[in-house]
Amino acid sequence: MALRDVKPTRSELIGLKRRIALSERGYKILKMKRDGLILEFFKVLADAKDSRGELLQKYQRAVESMALANTVEGAIGVKSAAFSVKEVPQITLTSKNIMGVVVPKIESSKVRKSLVDRGYGILGTTSIIDETATSFEELVEAIIESAEIETTMKRLLSEIESTKRRVNALEFKVIPELSEARDFIKMRLDEMEREELFRLKKIKARMKA
């Protein structure tokens, strides 16, 4: 179809201008969201680095404590103390919102226990069992904290990537294509007005003749 055969209307031009305005507004909002999410991501990333370092330290301490306990108490003594524990850690999983991204919030209870709650009896064991139990309780707490941080970081990163794709689509595809269509319709409307004006002048000239 030739360009001259295309006859757009003023309402189409107005509609396109509205769509461009909405797209530009959406672009600005999404860009602000992307930048905000990136800031939040780097905050969580800093926490994640600290959490990983702390987790590794507590893991190494727990392994060393277990090795020492096995040497002092023997494997049977360690297992007996472990099986004496009646209450296991309780995990409660809820959620929180970070700039529209739902991330997990993990709360724990009954991880840290008193000597009485551990159940193995104070008189029948040495202090190394207590130290080993404490080191593993601290390790479990570190694991729970690390799990929350790592999951939050992954979800934020996923949302950042999704938002970046939408921002790029608006900036490099949607808005340019709409703007090109607007410019074309405006050009054709101007041409049609000139053609109509020329036609009216010819009719007027014939009428005078």
Which residues are CB-contacts of 77 (< 8 A; sequence separation ≥ 6)?
69, 125, 129
Over residues 58-78, the pLDDT tens digits come to 999 999 999 999 998 888 888
- Distance CA(113)–CA(97), nearest Å, equals 32
The 10 Å Cβ neighbour count of residue 104 is: 15
In this prediction the pTM is 0.78
Residue 98 · residue 152 · CB < 8 Å = yes
pLDDT band per the 50, 70, 90 thresholds, residue 124? low
- Distance CA(37)–CA(44), nearest Å, equals 10
User: 49, 79, 188: which is closest to 180 by C-alpha?
Assistant: 188
Instruction: Please count the residues of the chain.
Output: 209
- Distance CA(90)–CA(33), nearest Å, equals 35
Delineate the domains of the chain, giving CATH numbers in brackets: 30-156 (1.10.287.3240)
> Would you state the pLDDT for residue 207?
80
More confident residue, 121 or 204: 204
Residue 82 · residue 91 · CB < 8 Å = no
Calculate the alpha carbon distances from 76 to 64, 71, 142 in Å: 18, 11, 27
